[in-house]
Amino acid sequence: MYLNPPSQSEVFSFFHRHPKSTTLLRMQSLCVPSPLHFPATALRRCRTPTSAVRLVRAERREENDPLIQSALDSASLRLRETNRTAPLVIDPYAACFLPPYAKKELDIHEQQHYCLATKFIDDKLLEIAKRIDGLKQVVLFTDGMDTRPYRLNWPTSTMIFDVSPEKVFEIASDKLQGVGARIPKGCLFFHIPVEPGNIEQHLRSKGFSGNRPSIWALQGLPLESQSGFEAILSAISSLAMNECYLIGEFPTNITLQVTFIS
């Protein structure tokens, strides 16, 4: 039941008869409850947020894409190694690529091989980069989820180029940005999509100079044919000057035929 507010004549009459009760009347008027109103949306049916639906669809697409899944498998290896008591590799960003419920069984021998290779490449990259005076140029051929630009302690004046599948790199870049990953101060980072080809031209357009020392590392880049691998080597040979370095894992599914010309 709601109380009807007093009329103006009743208020004046009350003041005239009880001049000292003004404060009491004001306090009582504040206690009068206001009618309750239910918003129209309260009776509507609850719906799943659009963002949640998009997230589920995105995860399904990632599971069905071989390039994305391969990159996620490598991230899983780095995460498992990071969580070991005495890890060879520590990747603080690997977890951001993986859903919290991901518990895929991984081959222990595959993990050991991958982590040993990753450790070797990490150490060599930093060792060589620190020996180069002035501007350093590092080109990484990766699966798109390589975190070396963020997790390694690069010396200042290092230009890092990541050559990888564009769709994988875009997913990884968004997730890395979400966890606050940053390139070391005094360094530059560029992405070169591998799909259009002509890697040499794209590297030059981003500021790569063939007249300066460079380090090239290969690990994780998906190569489907020998011709694709030869195109990578051709780009490296065209841009690398004397005393440059090429390190990494060469694809075992591709047999490189070398022809010796006398």
Residues 135-166: tens digit of each pLDDT: 999 999 999 999 999 999 999 999 999 999 99
Residue pair 150/175 in contact (Cβ under 8 Å)? The answer is: no
The pLDDT of 103-131, averaged and rounded, is 88
| pLDDT of 182 above 80 | yes
pTM for the full predicted model:
0.74
The pLDDT of 204-219, averaged and rounded, is 96
Q: What is the DSSP string of 123-158?
A: HHHHHHHHHS-S-EEEEEE--S---HHHHS-PPSSE
The pLDDT-based confidence of 251 (bands split at 50, 70, 90) is confident
Tell me the pLDDT tens digit for each residue of 49-74: 554 444 445 555 566 899 999 999 99
For residues 58 and 64, what is the distance between their CA atoms, to the nearest angstrom?
A: 10
What does pLDDT average to over the chain?
Answer: 80
Q: Which domains does the chain have, with CATH numbers?
A: 62-248 (3.40.50.150)
